[in-house]
């Protein structure tokens, strides 16, 4: 890879300046973190899988008219994306109770929710990404009312798309997180889905066995994370059936 200027390094990805103005190269690392980076490990092959899976989900969204930052995959670990101003919110959509919602409200994990619930967390690792309301978002100017309407509409479309896709391969989409960015086309601003969409930021349960196929495998020490993500990729047809990561990852042809 040609020398590129690093713009930012996060927990799971590195961003480099892209080849053209307004583009960014997103590099997927193998690092896994949980509980606000208190638990850390390197999971061989995770970055390759997430690069592929994020490409798959974002391409599908682009195709059905949900705008995303994704332009093209460059190689095993890198993709070219459109530069966007990230709104400092994590947008969480839930279909079944799990994780922090179950804890906060005392609802048993797996309980179906009467309708999808959209929540917002303020993106700040030092504060542990606290839950915020639309009142905070408006008062502190993180997003306008129009932005919030657009964000909810985008989040629910992503939810319908991902839920249907997962249902087709026997997986329940329990919840997920997305990030939204602002881009400017001339004088117009619009919002697009940014960051990544991968099992790192979703809860995926096998519909029959209830087996977890997402980052909870790492958070709760339930087994091999790469095996779980490989299973998701295999079911979605993202990887050839014969692909294996054992003993050394050789994931993508
Ligand atoms: O995962 P945890 O119980 O801490 O938080 P949650 O609020 O139950 O997370 C809801 C969904 O958003 C899960 O699929 C998480 O993996 C995802 N999430 C994320 O990707 N990044 C965060 N900083 C927080 C949540």
Nearest residue by C-alpha to atom 20 in ligand 1: 201
pLDDT of residue 240: 59
116 lines ligand 1 (CB under 6 A): no
Model pLDDT, residue 147: 98
Query: What is the β-pairing status of strands 171-185 and 85-86?
Result: antiparallel
Tell how far the Cα of 163 is from the centroid of ligand 1, in angstroms: 17
Give yes or no: residues 109 and 188 share one domain. Answer: yes
Q: Ligand 1 centre from 35 Cα, in Å?
A: 10
pTM of the model: 0.93
**Ligand 1 site, residue 202, Cβ cutoff 6 A:** yes
15 assigned to some structural domain: yes
Other beta carbons within 10 Å of 11: 14
Q: Are residues 27 and 103 in the same domain?
A: no
Identify the pLDDT of residue 4: 87
In a domain, 44, yes or no: yes
- Asked, for residue 232, whether it belongs to a domain, the answer is no
In this predicted structure, the answer to whether residue 250 has a pLDDT above a threshold of 50 is yes
Is residue 74, in this structure, part of any structural domain at all?
yes
From the CB of 92, is ligand 1 less than 6 Å away? yes
Instruction: Check pLDDT > 50 for residue 247.
Output: no
211 and 131 part of one domain: yes
Same domain, 40 and 158: no
Asked if residue 36 has pLDDT above 60, the reply is yes
Q: Domains in the chain: how many in total?
A: 2
Residue 236 lies in a domain: no
The closest-lying atom of ligand 1 relative to the alpha carbon of residue 174 is 14
Query: Of 54, 82, 110, at which residue does a domain stop?
Result: 82
- 112 C-alpha to ligand 1 centroid (Å): 17
User: 101: which residues sit within 8 A by CB, 6+ positions away?
Assistant: 94, 107, 117, 119, 175
Per-residue pLDDT tens over the stretch 54-87: 999 999 999 999 999 999 999 999 999 999 999 9
CATH code of 162's domain: 3.30.470.20
Q: How much is the pLDDT for 118?
A: 98
Mutate to test the pocket of ligand 1, among 96, 175, 193 (most ligand atoms within 8 A of CB): 175
Structural domain including 37 reads 6-82
Residue 2 has what pLDDT? 61
Domain match, 61 and 152 both: no
Q: Are residues 193 and 89 both part of a single domain?
A: yes
d(CA 145, CA 240): 44
Q: What is the mean pLDDT of the chain?
A: 94
**Cα distance between residue 41 and residue 47, in whole Å:** 13
Q: Atom 14 of ligand 1 has which residue's CA nearest to it?
A: 202
154 and 165: one domain?
A: yes
Question: Is 24 part of any domain?
Answer: yes
90 and 102, same domain (yes or no) = yes
């Amino acid at each position: 890879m040609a020398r590129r200027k690093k713009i930012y390094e996060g927990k799971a990805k590195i961003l480099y300046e892209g080849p053209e103005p307004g583009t960014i190269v997103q590099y997927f690392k193998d690092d896994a973190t949980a509980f606000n980076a208190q638990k850390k490990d390197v999971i061989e092959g995770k970055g390759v899988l997430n690069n592929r899976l994020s490409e798959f989900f974002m391409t599908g969204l682009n195709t059905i008219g949900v705008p995303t930052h994704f332009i093209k995959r460059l190689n095993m670990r890198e993709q070219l994306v459109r530069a966007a101003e990230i709104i400092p919110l994590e947008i969480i959509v839930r279909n079944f109770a799990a994780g922090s919602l179950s804890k906060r409200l005392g609802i048993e994990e797996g309980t179906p929710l009467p309708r999808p619930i959209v929540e917002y967390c303020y993106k700040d690792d030092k504060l542990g990404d606290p839950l915020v309301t639309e009142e905070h978002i408006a008062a502190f100017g993180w997003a306008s009312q129009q932005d919030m309407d657009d964000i909810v509409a985008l989040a629910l479309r992503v939810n319908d798309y991902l839920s249907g896709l997962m249902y087709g391969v026997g997986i329940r989409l329990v919840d997920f997180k997305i990030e939204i960015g602002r881009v400017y086309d001339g004088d117009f601003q619009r919002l697009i889905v940014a960051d990544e969409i991968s099992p790192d930021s979703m809860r995926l349960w096998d519909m029959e066995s209830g087996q977890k196929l997402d980052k909870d495998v790492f958070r709760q020490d339930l087994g091999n994370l790469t095996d779980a993500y490989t299973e998701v990729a295999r079911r979605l047809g993202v990887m050839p059936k014969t692909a294996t990561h054992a003993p050394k990852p050789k994931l993508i042809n």
